[in-house]
Amino acid sequence: MTVLRLNPSATSSYGRHMRNTMDKVTATQLSTYNDEFNADVKNKLATLTISRDSYSEALGDRSSYLQHPAVFSHKLSIDPPITNQKRSGRCWIFACLNILRLQMMQEYKLEELELSQPFVFFYDKLEKANWFLENVLATADEDVDGRVVQYLLKDPVNDGGQFDMIVALLEKYGVVPKEAYPETFHTSNSGEMDALITSRLREFAVQLRQAQAEGKSAEELRERKRGMLAEVHRVLVVSLGQPPERVTWAFYNKDKKFHEFRGISPLEFYKSYVKVDCTRLVSLINDPRNAYMRKYTVQYLGNVAEAQGVRYVNVDIESMKQYASRVIQSGRPVWFGCDVGKFRISSKGLLDCKAIDYKSAFNFALGSTKAQRLQYGDSAMTHAMVLTGVHIEDDRPVRWRVENSWGDASGVKGYLTLTDEWFSEYVYQIVLDKSDLPQRVVDVLDQDAVELPPWDPMGALAQ
């Protein structure tokens, strides 16, 4: 946050001004509010009902989930076991690897497969630490109380990320089967480790900024930074285990035939066995605040220093849904980012703008536009999942099937249903292969990117 520095007299003047000009809540007002509330008998019923349960359960509209059963005219032929990110923010990693495993399951005739999210997680933390320290050096001459520096200091190694960031990790480090690098306590419960690394990185930021102010050379600063990174690496290895350099992948397929591949490097496993060219995948966003058919990026958003950075192509929502529907109907999944907390009935696994009847209880309905919610901080990308089905009626999508990563006890055996209206209002991003897009959309990638500020909601999934 930006700290407003005022001298004592200015602070006193500001305080007097606010006290003299702000409208106050008075006892008369409170009495009027109470009288109006008690005059409406419906309010008593609302209080008795809602005070005992969550809004989503107490105000859930039964007609909504009856209208949208978990039945779809088109869905993927494979339903792999549901994954569980547990108490971590690794949804973007889980969603990507859940997509990659599907092609492998088809090719190798597997009933189940899970790729190691902890392996990617390890290198994401290390790369984010380096990214942060490099940005500390790049902004060393800026005011530490300025908004940019304070933003960088806020959460340098958080669990979140963007799709282009996992592509950068896969292309550099590869991936391994889950059994070759499984979960530890700190992959599934990342808060304690994140807090320790964050505190240490902030101490490093103090040291680097001081060294810069003392006139240390760029090479001296980088040498100190490399030593700092060694400490982060030590924390990661102690907490998560040392990632393997070679693995063996052994399995029985659906025909009960045994297969074994020995001595594979993680990068070789990714290139030779996953066989998905993630560099061809394009992130489409729907951001009605900004012009469509333009390329966007978010300042200071990334992890791998030498990667190309995060790129988006902004498209209208109807085009986005059309592209996603075609891919699902062709039998392939779609990675997507959304605001998962809005209008969700967890017990029914339903995301629907009409699912929670706020008006009956509170005499108002929420009515901001998508652009207004983004502009005023009421919505942002908070979660990544996978679209695995769509229900089409009269040539238009009605509802979508979603594979989540919160375990099979969440939703309906791990799956959610989102309505097409909810898609329009709260889905912000999908990822598709270039071959699934019109050439005019792909050509937008050749534009110079419009830079959004670091705190923009289009970067929220990585925050």
Query: Which residue out of 68, 135, 338, 383 is catalytically annotated?
Result: 383
Instruction: For residue 374, give every residue at least 6 positions away whose Cβ sits within 8 Å of its Cβ, in sequence order, or none.
Output: 287, 288, 289, 380, 457
- Classified as helix, coil or strand, 171 is helix
Q: Is 233 a catalytic residue?
A: no
Alpha-carbon Rg for the chain in angstroms: 25
Question: CA angle 157-161-163, nearest 5°?
Answer: 150
To which residue do tokens 């025909």 refer? 255
As to burial, measured by CB atoms within 10 angstroms (0-12 exposed, 13-18 middle, 19+ buried), residue 52 is: exposed
Q: Which two tokens stand for residue 130?
A: 């380096």
CA–CA separation, 222 vs 201, rounded Å?
15
Q: Which two tokens stand for residue 270?
A: 């990714």
Query: Which residue out of 135, 286, 314, 404 is catalytically annotated?
Result: 404
Of 315, 414, 445, 452, the closest CA to residue 98 belongs to 414
- Classified as helix, coil or strand, 259 is strand
As to burial, measured by CB atoms within 10 angstroms (0-12 exposed, 13-18 middle, 19+ buried), residue 275 is: exposed
As to burial, measured by CB atoms within 10 angstroms (0-12 exposed, 13-18 middle, 19+ buried), residue 373 is: buried
Q: Which two tokens stand for residue 150?
A: 């304070």
Contact criterion met (CB below 8 Å) for 312 and 296:
yes
Helix H or strand E encompassing 168:
helix 163-173
DSSP labels, 266-330: HHHHIIIII---GGGEEEEE--TTS-SS-EEEETT--S-TTS----EEE--HHHHHHHHHHHHHT
Query: Which residue out of 84, 91, 96, 286 is catalytically annotated?
Result: 91
Q: Is 91 a catalytic residue?
A: yes
CA atoms in the 13 A half-sphere facing the CB of 319: 16
Of 360, 401, 361, the closest CA to residue 78 belongs to 401
- Classified as helix, coil or strand, 139 is coil
Q: Is 383 a catalytic residue?
A: yes
Q: Which residue numbers are catalytic?
A: 91, 383, 404
